[in-house]
Amino acid sequence: MKTRLILLGTGGRPRPRKANSAPAQVIVSNDTAYVIDCGNGVARQLAFADVPLSTVRHIFLTHHHSDHIADYGNLIWLAWCAGLRTRVDGWGPPPLERMTQLFFEMNACDIETRIADEERTPLLPLVHVHELSEGGPIMQDDNLAVTATLVDHPPVVPAFAYRFDASDRSIVISGDTLPSDNLIRLAEGADVLVHEVLYVPAIDRLAARVPNAAALKRSILSHHTPVEDAGRVAQAAGVKRLVLSHFVPPDDPAVTDQMWLDAARVHFRGEVILGRDLLEI
Ligand SMILES: [Zn+2]
């Protein structure tokens, strides 16, 4: 059995763009898909990755920022339209339960039509939501065990990182966070750490595109991890591979691949992989 990790979207920030899709990852084990975060386009990225939507079994949300959750409801709804007829569990911070209910209420017209007209399995009984308020072991099945930890992403509270331990490898997804001691503990000895990264010198250019530049710059600097520090976290945790993802800025041509890699290697002695959409690791 091989546990696969595919990056579905690697650009931070909610603005749709050509360069990359919004944050999302999928772990596939035994034809079962575990989706972590649901940025805009996640269902289509799963199609590009050749992961059947009907195999989506668990969805984990790290925190309530639009670049991570915009297509949470859409993923379940479209997977059902694509033939999903088995249980789906959603995991994440409150108010995930209410969000899920309201999403299906908003789209009841289509859902009820398809059940009546196409004789589809009713969707709502398939969906089970689990709100998480603290870290710890959260689920285990035949393929893997999942553990969460609280990370620091003010003002969004709570925000989580997740660790997936399968028989053949361990994978950690940082979510969005400042450099986090909890994350270092969660990732200890992991095979793969996918960590969000920020290139600090480029933030003025990113912020200059918008009228709320000063507030946006302050916000970004106050809740993300500079790429050099992502290397520091990976080194402290003793992970084998550091995968850079959730790039901020997500599409500034002045920040080259080599600049990201060089900065990550300042403090990390293991292997660094530059994330890109649909890369399998
Ligand atoms: Zn965020």
pLDDT, one tens digit per residue, over 11-23 is: 999 999 999 999 9
Which segments in the chain show pLDDT lower than 70? 1
The CA 65 to ligand 1 mean position distance, Å, reads 5
Amino acid in position 278: L
The amino acid at residue 113 is T
Query: Given this model, what pLDDT does residue 133 score?
Result: 97
Cα of 23 vs centre of ligand 1, distance in Å, is 10
CA of 119 to the centre of ligand 1 (A): 39
Residue 137, preceding peptide bond in cis (omega within 30° of 0):
no
Taking the centre of ligand 1 as the mean of its atom positions, its distance from the CA of residue 62, in whole angstroms, is 8
Q: Would you state the pLDDT for residue 208?
A: 83
Give distance in angstroms: CA of 111 to centre of ligand 1: 30
224 CA to centre of ligand 1 in angstroms: 8
The CA 148 to ligand 1 mean position distance, Å, reads: 16
Q: What is the pLDDT of residues 141-156, one digit of tens each?
A: 999 999 999 999 999 9
pLDDT at residue number 204: 84
* Ligand 1 centre distance from Cα of residue 13 (Å): 8
- Please report where in the chains the tokens 């409150």 appear, as a residue: 94
Query: Hey, what are 126's tokens?
Result: 């398939």
Q: Minimal CA–CA distance to 168: which of 27, 40, 9, 268?
A: 27
| Distance from C-alpha of 130 to C-alpha of 217, rounded to nearest angstrom | 33
pLDDT value, residue 205: 83
What are the tokens at 103? Answer: 């999403």
> How many angstroms separate the first and last alpha carbons of the chain?
15
Check the CA dihedral 71-77-80-82 and report its sign. Answer: negative
Give distance in angstroms: CA of 61 to centre of ligand 1. 11
Helix (H) or strand (E) holding 273: strand 271-274
Token pair belonging to 55: 């195999």
pLDDT of residue 248: 95
Residue 1 confidence (pLDDT): 61
